[in-house]
Homo-oligomer: A and B are copies of this chain.
Amino acid sequence: MKKITIGEAARQSGVKVPTIRYYEGIGLLPAPSRSEGNQRSYEPSDLDRLAFIRHARELGFEVESIRTLLSLQDNPGQSCSSADAIAKARLIEVEQRIRSLLALKAELEVMVEGCGHGRVDQCRVIEVLADHGKCMHPHH
Protein backbone atom coordinates (compact mmCIF):
# COMPACT_ATOMS: atom_id res chain seq x y z
CA MET A 1 0.00 0.00 0.00
CA LYS A 2 1.54 3.31 -1.04
CA LYS A 3 -0.78 5.78 0.60
CA ILE A 4 -0.10 9.47 0.17
CA THR A 5 -0.91 12.73 1.92
CA ILE A 6 -3.29 15.33 0.55
CA GLY A 7 -0.36 17.53 -0.43
CA GLU A 8 1.21 14.75 -2.46
CA ALA A 9 -2.16 13.98 -4.04
CA ALA A 10 -2.47 17.65 -4.97
CA ARG A 11 0.98 17.64 -6.55
CA GLN A 12 0.35 14.47 -8.53
CA SER A 13 -3.17 15.35 -9.68
CA GLY A 14 -2.77 19.05 -10.25
CA VAL A 15 -5.83 19.73 -8.07
CA LYS A 16 -5.18 22.12 -5.19
CA VAL A 17 -5.36 20.94 -1.61
CA PRO A 18 -8.42 23.00 -0.59
CA THR A 19 -10.17 21.93 -3.79
CA ILE A 20 -9.60 18.27 -2.97
CA ARG A 21 -11.17 18.83 0.44
CA TYR A 22 -14.00 20.71 -1.25
CA TYR A 23 -14.65 17.79 -3.64
CA GLU A 24 -14.81 15.50 -0.65
CA GLY A 25 -17.26 17.86 1.03
CA ILE A 26 -19.65 17.87 -1.92
CA GLY A 27 -19.33 14.11 -2.37
CA LEU A 28 -17.40 13.92 -5.63
CA LEU A 29 -14.47 12.22 -3.98
CA PRO A 30 -14.98 9.58 -1.28
CA ALA A 31 -13.70 10.46 2.17
CA PRO A 32 -10.32 8.77 2.46
CA SER A 33 -9.05 6.88 5.46
CA ARG A 34 -7.15 8.87 8.08
CA SER A 35 -3.78 8.55 9.71
CA GLU A 36 -3.39 8.28 13.48
CA GLY A 37 -3.09 12.03 13.64
CA ASN A 38 -6.35 12.50 11.68
CA GLN A 39 -4.65 13.31 8.41
CA ARG A 40 -6.17 12.23 5.09
CA SER A 41 -4.42 9.33 3.43
CA TYR A 42 -5.13 8.67 -0.25
CA GLU A 43 -4.81 5.60 -2.42
CA PRO A 44 -3.85 5.40 -6.10
CA SER A 45 -7.50 4.95 -7.13
CA ASP A 46 -8.26 8.32 -5.57
CA LEU A 47 -5.65 9.84 -7.88
CA ASP A 48 -7.43 8.33 -10.88
CA ARG A 49 -10.70 9.79 -9.72
CA LEU A 50 -9.11 13.19 -9.15
CA ALA A 51 -7.60 13.10 -12.64
CA PHE A 52 -11.02 12.25 -14.06
CA ILE A 53 -12.63 15.14 -12.22
CA ARG A 54 -9.91 17.55 -13.18
CA HIS A 55 -10.10 16.60 -16.82
CA ALA A 56 -13.87 16.92 -16.87
CA ARG A 57 -13.69 20.33 -15.17
CA GLU A 58 -11.13 21.49 -17.74
CA LEU A 59 -13.60 20.46 -20.43
CA GLY A 60 -16.13 22.69 -18.69
CA PHE A 61 -18.47 20.03 -17.35
CA GLU A 62 -20.46 21.13 -14.31
CA VAL A 63 -20.02 19.35 -11.04
CA GLU A 64 -23.49 17.81 -11.34
CA SER A 65 -22.60 16.37 -14.73
CA ILE A 66 -19.35 15.02 -13.35
CA ARG A 67 -21.30 13.38 -10.56
CA THR A 68 -23.35 11.53 -13.18
CA LEU A 69 -20.30 10.66 -15.27
CA LEU A 70 -18.49 9.31 -12.21
CA SER A 71 -21.43 7.15 -11.23
CA LEU A 72 -21.45 5.77 -14.77
CA GLN A 73 -17.77 5.00 -14.46
CA ASP A 74 -18.50 3.23 -11.20
CA ASN A 75 -21.17 1.04 -12.86
CA PRO A 76 -19.62 0.07 -16.20
CA GLY A 77 -22.36 -2.37 -17.17
CA GLN A 78 -24.93 0.39 -17.76
CA SER A 79 -25.84 1.95 -21.05
CA CYS A 80 -23.67 4.91 -21.86
CA SER A 81 -26.50 6.93 -23.36
CA SER A 82 -26.50 9.43 -20.51
CA ALA A 83 -22.76 9.96 -20.80
CA ASP A 84 -23.30 10.50 -24.49
CA ALA A 85 -26.13 12.97 -23.84
CA ILE A 86 -24.04 14.95 -21.35
CA ALA A 87 -21.10 15.16 -23.73
CA LYS A 88 -23.34 16.14 -26.64
CA ALA A 89 -25.02 18.86 -24.62
CA ARG A 90 -21.62 20.19 -23.60
CA LEU A 91 -20.48 20.13 -27.24
CA ILE A 92 -23.46 22.22 -28.29
CA GLU A 93 -22.77 24.68 -25.48
CA VAL A 94 -19.15 24.97 -26.56
CA GLU A 95 -20.10 25.52 -30.20
CA GLN A 96 -22.52 28.28 -29.26
CA ARG A 97 -19.96 29.89 -27.01
CA ILE A 98 -17.38 29.84 -29.81
CA ARG A 99 -19.79 31.49 -32.23
CA SER A 100 -20.62 34.19 -29.72
CA LEU A 101 -16.97 34.79 -28.88
CA LEU A 102 -16.06 35.10 -32.56
CA ALA A 103 -18.67 37.83 -32.97
CA LEU A 104 -17.31 39.50 -29.86
CA LYS A 105 -13.77 39.29 -31.15
CA ALA A 106 -14.79 41.02 -34.37
CA GLU A 107 -16.41 43.82 -32.43
CA LEU A 108 -13.46 44.25 -30.10
CA GLU A 109 -11.11 44.36 -33.09
CA VAL A 110 -13.08 47.19 -34.64
CA MET A 111 -12.94 49.05 -31.35
CA VAL A 112 -9.22 48.56 -30.87
CA GLU A 113 -8.23 49.27 -34.46
CA GLY A 114 -10.39 52.37 -34.55
CA CYS A 115 -8.66 53.82 -31.53
CA GLY A 116 -6.45 56.63 -32.73
CA HIS A 117 -4.75 56.83 -29.32
CA GLY A 118 -5.97 60.35 -28.99
CA ARG A 119 -8.47 61.75 -26.53
CA VAL A 120 -11.53 59.98 -25.20
CA ASP A 121 -13.99 62.08 -27.17
CA GLN A 122 -12.61 60.62 -30.40
CA CYS A 123 -12.17 57.12 -29.02
CA ARG A 124 -13.87 54.38 -30.92
CA VAL A 125 -13.83 52.10 -27.88
CA ILE A 126 -16.02 54.37 -25.82
CA GLU A 127 -18.10 55.33 -28.82
CA VAL A 128 -19.00 51.76 -29.75
CA LEU A 129 -19.82 50.92 -26.16
CA ALA A 130 -22.09 53.91 -25.90
CA ASP A 131 -23.91 53.19 -29.15
CA HIS A 132 -24.85 49.62 -29.78
CA GLY A 133 -25.96 50.56 -33.29
CA LYS A 134 -22.29 50.92 -34.19
CA CYS A 135 -21.71 47.20 -33.71
CA MET A 136 -20.64 45.30 -36.76
CA HIS A 137 -22.36 42.08 -35.78
CA PRO A 138 -25.76 41.37 -34.23
CA HIS A 139 -24.28 39.04 -31.64
CA HIS A 140 -26.67 40.01 -28.90
Interface residues of A (CB under 8 A from B): 48, 51-52, 55-56, 58-60, 69, 72-73, 75-81, 83-84, 86-88, 90-91, 94-95, 97-98, 101-102, 104-105, 107-109, 111-112, 115, 117-123, 125-126, 128-130, 132, 139-140
Q: Which residue of chain B is the closest to A91 with respect to CB atoms?
A: B108
As for how many copies of this chain the complex holds, the number is: 2
CB distance from A5 to the nearest CB of B (A): 23
A100 to B130, CA, bound (A): 30
Q: Distance (Å) between the CB of A23 and the closest chain B CB?
A: 15
Task: Say yes or no: A101 contacts B104, CB within 8 Å.
Answer: no
Chain B residues near A128 (CB, 8 Å)?
55
